[in-house]
Chain A
């Protein structure tokens, strides 16, 4: 396409610019809806948040400039440190989804397996289920007295506890659900990744005498690294933004709240419950900076371990 345009242009310089202009115009027109959407619903709010983080708000929308005050408060706020720690914990724990979904994907990829699409749908269901419904169901499962989990534990003689209301287990209980909801999503991605590995590599390896384990670690895993990397970046971002499950699964007056808040929950607390929107914006900006930094590090490190075939 491009080449043809250039050759044509060489012959008649006058048309060249017009053609260029026309391509320009149509190109921008095509991306306009997306760009506009991103601009209005993502970019503009980001810029606004940065601006608001330097302001203090009254409850109903009047704001005044306070410079770096919010950031100074943030540095001294012990809650921020605690929430950040919890957030990192969630993000790190969330990465467990990668080995688990690789295992599930490998199983579903087994040659001759029947009902593959049925299993795939089954694993994918949590992804398309509303978080509110997921949270409610798991609240019942985790219930200390009537929950299915404690009932099953009692069958093997273990006394369970109030998993999501007990401050020491609450966050972990939610993290399990977090991994569970994303399992199907990443399983599908890894299945695609597995199917993208050329079959002749395995044949060649088999001829050279490599067993199944060796094949997995020498062929499958290295060639899956781009997918692992992509999943890692995504899952860390989801983890850093954890809010809905926690918000919906903890009871309103739960003793678990104080020590188990994530940074987005703290943001919600401050900005919407207490009405300190400027301070909330500062928290959001810090989260954005941290997310950017972590993602940048991930991209830097990938050169060392990601193999593109």
Chain B
């Protein structure tokens, strides 16, 4: 009766068996290893691919595939899910807000032993960046770059409005005055763009106002501090009182980066990592100045990425080789010369500054002494997701700023208590 069925099953087994054989054959034929390298910034993809190519040239047995997930929010969601399923990339970008959670839950390969064994020189990186990626005495990441925030401005729009270019001496008032003068509703031109972005926009003014986002020990929210609220009010007033920025609604409809590139916005507070995009924008006469001082002086967020190895990588040795290469002089030089990011490697910052003669990139480096590390706690994502939602409403003017800040502080303290 069932002869035919068995025949079918056997045939199936033969086919799959054959397939199995052939695939294992090709696996044995060489020692080729392919590593995946997870990144989130499309501006940096060309440089990362160039580095991967250089690495392949010096390490013939290893191929590196750069995997881009555009937008850091989607990147983390995807990475977290793939890590839970045991299939994250072998090497990937890590940031300060996330490293605590990832390292403490055993998703990252500790690198300290390998660093010591190979005599890898971490003193080439700023000590603060090494520390950022060290937990309980173990280093998990090799610093890749660092970034600060600057005030990009469109020189043509400034010239047309007859306004003096921003410089290091500018205060909040100077920015607001200039923004008002530069705004031309007829032409749809705004003085400045104030999206509800944390790192590039309101975190900086919070510290310039003498406030804080989170206590230094990472246990208490700073959003109930009146100074913090002042740092936020600066932007809320620019949008809703001065009307010299597009509304949050407009900025969500059309990306502020695009508005700035298209000459619809005269000033934009943005990270050093976006300099390359503005530099490459045709017809954009752009320069960059340090951020203004607030009521309590200067303040800028500094942050730096690191390259890490996935704990469950099938090729930890090859992955470490690649991370070492990424942390070496050659790879950092590529990052600097292409203008991609400020390299973490000592002595190459100047190379980056000179990579785009059009822009006064020194503005980013000059601010380092006033810099504040990126606010974080063990599980930053829980409260930062809520923060984005609430601050966006306050900036949109649909919710009262003081009440919003209080609500956020309460939520955040609650979340921090559970960490």
Contacts and interface: CB of A to CB of B under 8 A. Distances in A.
Interface stretch (B48-56, B174-182, B243-251): B243-251
Given A59-B101, A61-B84, A272-B80, A253 B254 contact: no
A121 interface: no
Contacts of A29: 5
Interface residues of A, number: 37
A178 B85 CA distance: 32
A164 B253 contact: yes
A162 B392 contact: no
Given A251-B252, A255-B395, 6 more contacts: A59-B80, A162-B247, A166-B249, A167-B396, A273-B385, A274-B379
A144 interface: yes
A142 B249 CA distance: 11
The 4 closest A-B pairs by CB, nearest first: A251-B252, A162-B249, A255-B396, A165-B252
Contact of A60 (B106, B195, B390): B106
A244 B21 CA distance: 41
Interface in B207-246: none
A275 interface: yes
Nearest to B101: A59
Nearest to A62: B105
A62 B84 CA distance: 9
A22 B252 contact: no
Interface in B60-93: 71, 73, 76-77, 80-81, 83-86
Interface of B: 1, 5, 71, 73, 76-77, 80-81, 83-86, 101-102, 105-107, 188, 195-197, 247-254, 379, 381-382, 385, 388-390, 392-393, 395-396, 398
- Looking at B197, B249, B395, the one whose CB has the most chain A CB atoms below 10 A away is B249
B173 to A, nearest CB: 27
14 contacts: A58-B105, A59-B101, A60-B83, A144-B250, A165-B249, A167-B393, A167-B398, A252-B71, A253-B196, A253-B252, A254-B252, A255-B396, A274-B381, A275-B80
Nearest to A252: B73
Interface string A51-82: 00000001111100000000000000000000
Task: State the main secondary structure of chain A at its contact with B.
Answer: loop
Contacts of B105: 58-60, 62
Contacts of A251: 251-253
Interface in A2-53: 22, 29
A161 B249 contact: yes
Contacts of A165: 248-250, 252-253
Contacts of B381: 273-275
A192 B382 CA distance: 49
A234 interface: no
Task: State the main secondary structure of chain B at its contact with A.
Answer: helix
Contacts of B84: 59-61, 277
A143 B250 CA distance: 8
B355 to A, nearest CB: 29
A274 B382 contact: yes
A146 interface: yes
A61 B392 CA distance: 32
Contacts of A22: 1
A258 B389 contact: yes
A162 B250 CA distance: 6
A275 B73 CA distance: 13
B393 A144 contact: no
B265 to A, nearest CB: 12
Contacts of B390: 258
B392 A255 contact: yes
A162 B392 CA distance: 15
- Looking at A61, A139, A274, the one whose CB has the most chain B CB atoms below 10 A away is A274
B392 A254 contact: yes
B154 to A, nearest CB: 18
A45 to B, nearest CB: 14
Contacts of A167: 393, 396, 398
Nearest to B106: A60
A60 B395 contact: no
A219 B85 CA distance: 56
Contacts of A61: 84-86
A145 B188 contact: yes
A61 B84 CA distance: 5
Nearest to A274: B382
Contacts of B71: 252
A253 B249 contact: no
B52 to A, nearest CB: 26
Given A253-B388, A273-B385, A275-B381, A143 B1 contact: no
A291 interface: no
A190 B253 CA distance: 36
B249 A274 contact: no
Interface string A154-177: 000000011011111000000000
Contacts of B392: 253-255, 257-258
A269 interface: yes
B262 to A, nearest CB: 10
